[in-house]
Amino acid sequence: MRIPFIAGNWKMNLDRRSALELVEGLRRRVGERRDVEVAVFPPSVYLDEIARALMGSPIRVGGQNCCDEESGAFTGEVSATMLADVGAELVLVGHSERRHLYGEGDELIRRKVHAALDAGLDVILCVGETIEEREAGHTEQVVARQLRAGLEGISAPEMARVTVAYEPVWAIGTGHTATAAQAGEVHAYLRGLLEGLYSEPVAAATRIQYGGSVKADNAAELMAVTDVDGALVGGASLKPEAFLPIIEFSG
Ligand code: PEP
């Protein structure tokens, strides 16, 4: 039984005041719900304060990125241990904006997954194809490569701390959501890969979120797909009135 998992990736948006107002609104409405897991991913400078504001709430807090190294001369980077130290419980790894805008490749992403798990963080590993890759018929090949590389060396027990997010690059921030059928096909394919890499029980227990222009008006249809276990939400996670209906559809 996979509990739906709705995560809000704030990207480089909001300021301290609006971030605190947002989590206050979420905290009040999410209350003590246990039928859906909710997490927010603030910019790292606000993590400490947001984690404190959510103390005692089931809403979890995560970092949007982490360094693959533990400490040292890596100017501008933030380690997974530092994220954990200020209250993060999770981290996004391999988000398409990191892969495509900052040139992060599979090997770096693999190291980040290891660094995060070693620091005690749970991981959301993002995979997804570009529009060119989809149109060339390479979707499965691309997500398989990203999934295998990202999980290389990760044990079956560690998979209990990993969520996979299928985020077609062409759907992120564009308003072009994948159809339920498109999402369902890739999610089922990813679950099959997890079964091959680990086992049927690990594949059945691993949550696979869909991400890419999820909004209140398409969440119900996407969440109804068998292998879709929640959503990674960008734009619609920045306001309680946009994010809460997605959470409420999912529980
Ligand atoms: C994301 O940031 O992971 C995302 C899916 O963004 P959006 O919901 O805005 O497409």
pLDDT per residue rounded down to tens, the chain (251 residues): 899 999 999 999 999 999 999 999 999 988 877 899 999 999 999 999 999 999 999 999 999 999 999 999 999 999 999 999 999 999 999 999 999 999 999 999 999 999 999 999 999 999 999 999 999 999 999 999 999 999 999 999 999 999 999 999 999 999 899 999 999 999 999 999 999 999 999 999 999 999 999 999 999 999 999 999 999 999 999 999 999 999 987 76
* Residue 249, pLDDT score: 78
* Domains of the chain, CATH where assigned: 5-250 (3.20.20.70)
Closest alpha carbon to 170 in 94, 100, 92, 226 = 100
pLDDT of residue 33: 79
Q: What is the 97 CA–ligand 1 centroid distance (Å)?
A: 10
Tally of CB atoms within 10 A around 234: 23
Cβ < 6 Å from ligand 1: which residues?
A: 9, 11, 167, 172-173, 211-214, 232-236
Q: In sequence order, what are the residues at sequence separation of 6 or more whose Cβ sits closer than 8 angstroms to the Cβ of residue 29? A: 240, 244, 247
Beta strands, E only, the chain: 5-9, 37-41, 60-63, 90-93, 122-127, 162-166, 208-211, 230-233
Candidates 205, 201, 175, 203; CA nearest to 189 is 203
Predicted confidence at residue 251, as pLDDT, reads 61
Ligand 1 centre to CA of 85 (Å) is 26
Catalytic site positions:
95, 167
Consecutive H or E run containing 199:
none
Please report the pLDDT score of residue 51 as a whole number. Answer: 98
Contacts of 145 (CB under 8 A, 6+ apart): 106
Cβ proximity of 6 and 249 under 8 Å: no
Q: Under a CB-based contact definition with an 8 Å cutoff, are residues 119 and 162 in contact? A: no
Top mutation candidate among 124, 169, 213, 247 for ligand 1, by most atoms within 8 Å of CB: 213
Atom of ligand 1 nearest to the CA of 211: 5
CB-CB contact of 222 with 210 (8 Å)? yes
> What tokens appear for 217 in the block?
């008006």
Of ligand 1's listed atoms, the one at least distance from the Cα of 126 is: 3
